[in-house]
Structure 1
Amino acid sequence: MSFYTSLNGLKNAQSSLGTIAHNIANSETYGFKRGRTEFSEMVAGSANANPRTIQGIGASVEAITQNFSLGPLEQTGAALDLAVTGDGFFTLSGENGETLYTRSGSFTIDESGGIVDSNGNGLRVFPVDATGAPTGTTLQTLQIPAQNAAGAAYAGVAVGKDGVVSASYADGSVEPIGMVALASFMAPNGLKPVGSANWQSTGFSGEASYGEPGNGQYGALLSGALERSNVDIAEELVGLITAQRNFQANAKAIDTATQISQTVINLRT
């Protein structure tokens, strides 16, 4: 049994190494949240067994949890680089109609006037009136008009701390065109990572609740800044050494069990 107990230990150490390697590989990924491998003990014993003689049979991976603590903020100066100072997520409309959530606020304007991320997913906003006040709670994909009602051409865009996106035009007018909608979850650790620093909601995370930037737990917006990965390289390297030592210790346990087995097999009567 010691062989399989140590084999589980080897597999667990590999899982831990894989998680740490993933964290280190994404240390420069905007909006990335580090993961942590958690283990649980396995025991076996019948209902009538003496509890003082029940033997452990190893460990298993309990969960790979995500740490959603705020990462460092990097000033970029670009108007459509956005960072959230609270727990909120940007809401994106995927190319296939799916709803995505992200902490990476690196946006650009596409050829049709939509505000999109690097993968072409559109930023979703609340509709607003002429004063910038929300007029409804139904989210829509933001689209910047190429001209205003007076026929003046689009000149630029700005995003306020309150999330209001304003387009400026050649005639000097500035018009609110939407308010960035931030999503919050009861259990963000239940979100499903889908790559590119994006997540999707699941039954474990609960449904998203939407709110305005600067309101409660959602956090305010910072224009001209991006949230960097919350990976701490020093901490990951210490974890890497620990996982390596665990792997070596379990391999040594297998080697010891092999030597004992060989000794028993070579016994002579």
Structure 2
Amino acid sequence: MSFFTSLSGMRNSQTDLAVISHNIANAETTGFKKSNTAFADIVATGGSTDPRLTPGIGSSVQGITQDFALGSLVQTGRGLDLAISGDGFFATSNVATGDLTFTRNGALEVQADGGLVDSSGELVQGFTVDATGTPTSTVPASINIPTANAAGSGLSNVSVNAQGLVSASYSDGTSEPVAQIALASFPATGGLRSIGQTKWEATAESGPVQYGNPGQGNFGQVRNGTLERSNVDLAEEMVGLLTAQRNFQANARALDTATAISQIVLNLQS
């Protein structure tokens, strides 16, 4: 029994090490959210077992949870670098499939055809607005910025304010509102599925996506010229790394001890 108990502890320490290593590897990844490992004990018992004689038979991984705490916001000076100061996600649509994903990485750029995309080339979602910049829709769509205005002047600059209003400036000195960036939230953020590239997708556990305007309700404001860094605390992760290593070593030593005791018993029998 002790062999399997120690083995479960070693396996769990390996899982803990893998999660911590992943956190450390992404300490400088924009918009990354760290994960934590939770464990549960395993008890060998039955309805008629004396509770005073109930042995434990090891532990198991109860779950790997994501920590969506806000990372530090750093200024970049680039107008289309956006960060959400508070809750919410940027919504993006895959150009080929139309699938929606969600991210905290607001490093955006304008394509040659006027599409506003994130760092992986997916189209940012937003609400249509009128000439005063007031949203006219509650259903987001891909943001496309006209590369020329009605007078034929070419696009010279794109800016975003704290309410997520995207404005286009043209070479003749005019500017006009184009769209308002839509922020997404979920009933249970911890249920989102990470799919890499600091993106998540909705699941049955997260609940359906809900869209809103930046700075309203529970949605945070949009800060331009700023990006959100990873929320990984390297000092905390290094302590966790040492703890996981010691746990692995302790379980390995317990396994060695169980092996030695078994060998002694076998020698006595022979």
TM-score, length basis structure 1? 0.98
Name the structure 1 match of 2:205: 204
Structure 1 pair 136/253, CA: closer, same or farther in 2 (3 Å)? same
Correspondence 1:229 to 2:230: yes
Name the structure 2 match of 1:107: 108
Give the length in aligned residue pairs: 269
Q: State the SS of the aligned residue for 2:218.
A: helix
Inter-partner Cα distance in structure 1 for 2:142 and 2:84:
19
State the Cα deviation string for residues 3-62 of structure 1 (Å, max 9, x = none).
011101000000000000000000000000010000011112111111111111111001
Correspondence 1:66 to 2:99: no
Q: Which amino acid is 2:137 matched to?
A: G
Name the structure 2 match of 1:176: 177
State the Cα deviation string for residues 78-135 of structure 1 (Å, max 9, x = none).
1110000011100000232110000010111112111111211110001111111110
* Deviation of 1:173 (Å): 1.3
Inter-partner Cα distance in structure 2 for 1:268 and 1:60:
35
Compute the RMSD of aligned alpha carbons: 0.9
Name the structure 2 match of 1:261: 262
Inter-partner Cα distance in structure 2 for 1:97 and 1:252:
53
Inter-partner Cα distance in structure 1 for 2:57 and 2:217:
47
Q: State the SS of the aligned residue for 1:151.
A: coil
State the Cα deviation string for residues 189-219 of structure 1 (Å, max 9, x = none).
1100000000001011111111100012210
Inter-partner Cα distance in structure 1 for 2:91 and 2:252:
46
Uncovered stretches (5+) of structure 1, i.e. residues with no partner = none
Name the structure 2 match of 1:6: 6
Inter-partner Cα distance in structure 2 for 1:26 and 1:243:
19
Q: State the SS of the aligned residue for 1:217.
A: coil
Structure 1 pair 252/170, CA: closer, same or farther in 2 (3 Å)? same
Q: Equivalent residues in 2 for 1:20-99 (5 A)?
A: 20-95=20-95, 96-99=97-100
Inter-partner Cα distance in structure 2 for 1:32 and 1:16:
18
Name the structure 2 match of 1:165: 166
Q: State the SS of the aligned residue for 1:14.
A: helix
* Deviation of 1:268 (Å): 4.5
Q: Which amino acid is 2:112 matched to?
A: E
Correspondence 1:140 to 2:145: no
Paired-residue identity, % = 53
Name the structure 1 match of 2:156: 155
Q: Which amino acid is 2:73 matched to?
A: L
Name the structure 2 match of 1:126: 127
Q: State the SS of the aligned residue for 1:248.
A: helix
Runs of 4+ in 1 over 4 A off after TM superposition: none
Q: Which amino acid is 2:41 matched to?
A: E
Inter-partner Cα distance in structure 2 for 1:268 and 1:104:
66
Name the structure 2 match of 1:240: 241
